[in-house]
Amino acid sequence: MSYLDLQAMAAWENPALTGNFASIRASIQAHEYLRASLLILPCCLFYPILEEGIFRGMLFEAFLRTNRSRFLSIILVSGLFALMHLTSRLEVLPVLDLFLLGLVLSWLTLRSASLIPAVVLHSAFNAMAVAVQARLF
């Protein structure tokens, strides 16, 4: 996967870049729940599965095999995860938040030897972010 692929995925995933938050809010206010679900599902289900498969599944395992340092592997994968979400506005705080989330997701994957806990937490994190950004409560 190239840098451009990662950037395209980040742009596609980030509802703020596509105006999906306003669309979600408008759909819910108009009681168009199917449309709202189709806007929310990718962010809260599909992307966490995809990202955890890439970052905690493929990259984390590859780093563990090559350098055998759990600590370094967690740091590297968490850093890449955070940087992938960097927007063109270069905001530092969201990247730091996502780095911390990446640390927790990597630790969960290491402790459980499964991607499922990381996917569940990632999905919950994204659902909360969508709810806040779309001003659903």
With H, G, I as helix, E, B as strand and everything else as coil, classify residue 69.
Answer: coil
- Does residue 56 contact residue 77 with C-beta atoms inside 8 Å? yes
Question: Structurally, how many domains does the chain consist of?
Answer: 1
CB of 57 closer than 8 Å to CB of 115: yes
Instruction: Report how far residue 71's alpha carbon sits from residue 68's, in angstroms, rounded to the nearest whole number.
Output: 9
Residues contacting 1, CB < 8 A, separation 6+: 54
pTM more than 0.85:
no
> Which residue, chain included where needed, has tokens 């055998």?
68
Cα 86 from Cα 109, distance rounded (Å): 23
Domain that holds residue 112: 3-133
Q: Could you report the per-residue pLDDT of 119-129, keeping only the tens digit for each? A: 999 999 998 88
Give the tens place of pLDDT for each residue, 64-121.
999 889 999 999 999 999 999 887 777 788 889 999 999 999 999 999 999 999 999 9
pLDDT at 20: 62
